[in-house]
Structure 1
Amino acid sequence: MQRNVFYRTINNHVEENKAIYLFTIVLLFMGVIFGAIIVNSLSFAQKNDLYAYLSLFFGQVEQGEFASSTEMFTQSFAHYGKYLGLMWFLGLSVIGVPVIFILLFIKGLVVGFTVGFLVNQMGFDGFLLSFATVFPQNIILIPIFVVVATVATAFSLKIWKQITKRGYEPIFQYFISYSIFLLVTGASVALVSLYEAYVSPTVMQFIFSWIN
């Protein structure tokens, strides 16, 4: 019965906010596309400078010159936590909604640029590297960002309805659920950070040794 209630709650949430979900998904993928387009708009000198920096990083990876796994986990978790925490905070005000969408677009832009640049410079090897080191964590992160952006926007709209007297909204109840939701996403982000700290470096070393 509890499982049925859970699924019913999720289904009701998606049905109620499907227009927002559609918008956020399209916005994110627009960011990915724009990121890939930006790669092609870079000058030859800019691409060389970026690739020189990446080559230096790749050399350190091959030699195993990483920061400690604990430090990498802390930095990764803090980065994602601050990003999602900012989205949550912006959802507390109506004027924060445009910034939430900008942050989501930037996330897509970074992913698109990273994958596009690696493929542009390294061909199939770049695609393989992207698939092994960028795809695994983003298959979790991208849905998290979409859901957080949608939930934050929906909460902001409920506040707007309350302000404009367009209907009674139990804001405090929604706020509690909204805050608990952030803690749940924090657990998911912790799993991603663990992967980036303890698994991704080993995968990268294996890919580089296979490429070379």
Structure 2
Amino acid sequence: MLQPFRHTLKDQTPLYVFVAALFLMGVVFGALMVNALSLEQQQDLSRYLGNFFVSVNEGGESFQPMAYWEVAGVHLKWLGLIWLLGLSVIGLPGILVLDFLKGVLIGFTVGCLVGQYTWKGLLFALVSVAPHNLIVIPALVISSVAAIGFSLGIIRSRVLLHRTGNAAKPFLSYTGLTIAMAAVLLAVSSFETWITPTMMSWVTPMIGQSGL
């Protein structure tokens, strides 16, 4: 089980750098998208966030934290799509798009919070967005690199070199690493389900004091 980790962490450093850079580009792009919103869109966003924070602060019915399997399902679907795209040559661009899109989503979320509430929005992002993503993002990056590496291996062996060797061992290593990352995501989903809402409730009173 350790062999896939040694392989990806040691022999695929350039891919890690590339995927991480792509993700960071997505974060920057997502943050810049906030400035591109029209005045009406910004007002709608401000009202939505205001109502959300009031609901969290007062324990309103409109704030219903996601159940564990809903949270885990989101992460596992993302991971499963990366694994599936890695099985084919044509899926390679899709993996890169998913990594970029993940960065965009995080960048846009943090950018909205900071744009609306400055340092208080940043504090809320630190307790609501950052903690679980410190684990989720590396897990998805590792899975993406494994998927890209497996896809490139197919290209080299089947397309360029016209080899028809046994692909069972690479496939098992690739799938084994994906399963390990799934276990990690299942673990972090418990934190996101039961701990993150509590941390959010600690911070929202300070945001409410800003005049919501």
Q: Same fold (TM over 0.5)?
A: yes
Q: Is the contact between residue 72 and residue 186 of structure 2 (CA under 8 Å) also seen in structure 1?
A: yes
Structure-1 residue corresponding to 2:148: 153
Question: Quick one: distance in 2 between partners of 1:162 and 1:149?
Answer: 20
Structure 1 residues 199 and 169, CA gap change in structure 2 (3 angstroms): farther
Q: Residue 137 of structure 1 aligns to which amino acid in structure 2?
A: H
Q: Residue 87 of structure 1 aligns to which amino acid in structure 2?
A: I
Pairing partner for 1:138 from 133, 137, 159: 133
Structure-1 residue corresponding to 2:44: 49
Trace 1:1-212 onto structure 2 (pairs within 5 A).
6=2, 10-64=5-59, 65=61, 66-67=63-64, 72-164=67-159, 166=161, 170-211=166-207, 212=209
Q: Is the contact between residue 4 and residue 176 of structure 2 (CA under 8 Å) also seen in structure 1?
A: no
Q: Is the contact between residue 161 and residue 169 of structure 1 (CA under 8 Å) also seen in structure 2?
A: no
Query: SS at 1:93's partner residue?
Result: coil
Give the drift of 1:12: 4.2
Unaligned runs of 5+ in 1: none
Question: Quick one: distance in 1 between partners of 2:34 and 2:146?
Answer: 32
Q: TM-score normalised to the size of structure 2?
A: 0.89
Structure 1 residues 12 and 99, CA gap change in structure 2 (3 angstroms): closer
What per-residue deviation string (whole Å, max 9, x for no partner) do you get for residues 30-82 of structure 1? 00000111011111211110121122222221122443x6x521111111101
Q: Residue 100 of structure 1 aligns to which amino acid in structure 2?
A: I
Report the structure, 1 or 2, having the larger helix content.
1
Structure 1 residues 100 and 31, CA gap change in structure 2 (3 angstroms): same
Q: Residue 194 of structure 1 aligns to which amino acid in structure 2?
A: S
Give the drift of 1:107: 0.2
Q: TM-score normalised to the size of structure 1?
A: 0.89
Question: Quick one: distance in 1 between partners of 2:188 and 2:49?
Answer: 23
Q: Is the contact between residue 158 and residue 164 of structure 2 (CA under 8 Å) also seen in structure 1?
A: no
Q: Residue 81 of structure 2 aligns to which amino acid in structure 1?
A: L
Question: Quick one: distance in 2 between partners of 1:56 and 1:187?
Answer: 35
Q: Figure out how many residues of one structure are paired with residues of the other and give that number.
A: 205
Question: Quick one: distance in 2 between partners of 1:25 and 1:191?
Answer: 23
